[in-house]
Amino acid sequence: MEKKDMEKIVKTFYDKLEEGKIMGRKCTCCNNVEFPPVFICNKCGSFDTEWIELSGKASFKSVMVANGQTAKYPEFLPYALGAVTLEEGSEVNALIGGITKENAEEYRQKLPASCHAKIVQRDGFKTVMFEVD
Ligand SMILES: [Zn+2]
C-alpha cells in the first residue's frame, strides 16, 4: 500500500460528505465494514475493499457526558462520547448529540440505545457525529 492510496481514501471520504453521503469500506473477502474507511480490512488483512454508502443507523452502548465548561467541541453541545456500533457492524468512539447531564441516566438505563449518523460542519470541512433517535 502506498501513501497516495491512503490519501485517496481520505479525500474520497471527505468529498462524499460534501455530497451528503457517509461512506465506509467493505471487505469483499469477509464482509467486514471499516468506518472511518481504511484501505486494508482490519479483520482479515485483505486489500480487496470497496466503497459502500452507510445507512447511518447505529446504536450506542456507553455514554460519557461532555462537560459544558471544558467540552472539546462546544459548538456541538449538548453531547456525550460513546461507543457507537453502526448497523454495518463497525464500532467507533464518537460524539452523540442530544445527551445532557440531565437525561444521560435515562439513556444509560436502556443501553444499547439507537442513534443515527449526522454530517456536521467543522472549520472548513464536514465530519460525522451521531445523534440520539
Ligand atoms: Zn476482511
Question: 14: which 3 cell numbers?
Answer: 471527505
pTM tops 0.75: yes
| 5 pLDDT more than 90 | no
pLDDT, tens digit, for every residue of 46-90?
999 999 999 999 999 999 999 888 999 999 999 999 999 999 999
Domain assignments of the chain as residue spans, ordered by start:
1-54, 55-133
Greater model confidence, 79 or 3? 79
Contact 79, 67 (CB under 8 A): no
pLDDT at 1: 65
| 113 pLDDT more than 80 | yes
Average model confidence (pLDDT) across the chain: 95
Measured CA distances, 103 to 54, 84, 85, 91, 99 (Å): 28, 18, 21, 24, 6
CA of 36 to the centre of ligand 1 (A): 15
CA of 29 to the centre of ligand 1 (A): 5
CA of 50 to the centre of ligand 1 (A): 11
Q: Rounded to an integer, what is the distance from CA 92 to the centroid of its chain?
A: 6
pLDDT at 37: 94
| 4 pLDDT more than 90 | no
pLDDT at 6: 83
Please measure the distance between the N-terminal and C-terminal CA atoms of the chain and give it in whole angstroms: 39
CA of 57 to the centre of ligand 1 (A): 21
CA of 106 to the centre of ligand 1 (A): 37
pLDDT band at residue 33 under the 50/70/90 scheme = very high
CA of 39 to the centre of ligand 1 (A): 11
Name 35's Cβ contacts closer than 8 Å, sequence gap at least 6.
22, 24, 25, 54, 86, 88, 90, 92
